Amino acid sequence: MLYDFYSPEMLSSGSPLISTEAPLACFNNPAAGGFLQRNTAALNYTALHGSGSDEGWGNIVNAGLSIPSDIGVYSASVLF
């Protein structure tokens, strides 16, 4: 379930294991960035608020970078 919070696209549609939304999909599928031909950066923010008896506020920030090379695609992501 926590994989759903890795990006807004996964949050809205669920986190399928075959997602190709690199670089953030690399947590679910390490081969997700294999098709990339250009450097790709991703940054997103999601706000969570309590409802009903659950009060409070939450923040989710994700950032990722994929760099293709001749021998593979290097990907890194940070989740907070």
The rounded mean pLDDT for the chain is: 78
What is the value of pTM for the model shown? 0.71
Domain residue extents for the chain: 2-79
Rounded distance between C-alpha atoms, residue 43 and residue 39, angstroms: 14
Nearest-CA neighbor of 75 among 37, 32, 44? 32
Tokens (6 digits) for 39: 């450097």
Q: What is the pLDDT of residues 56-80, one digit of tens each?
A: 888 888 888 999 999 988 888 888 8
Q: What confidence category does residue 17 fall into, taking pLDDT thresholds of 50, 70 and 90?
A: low
Q: What is the pLDDT of residues 46-60, one digit of tens each?
A: 888 888 787 888 888
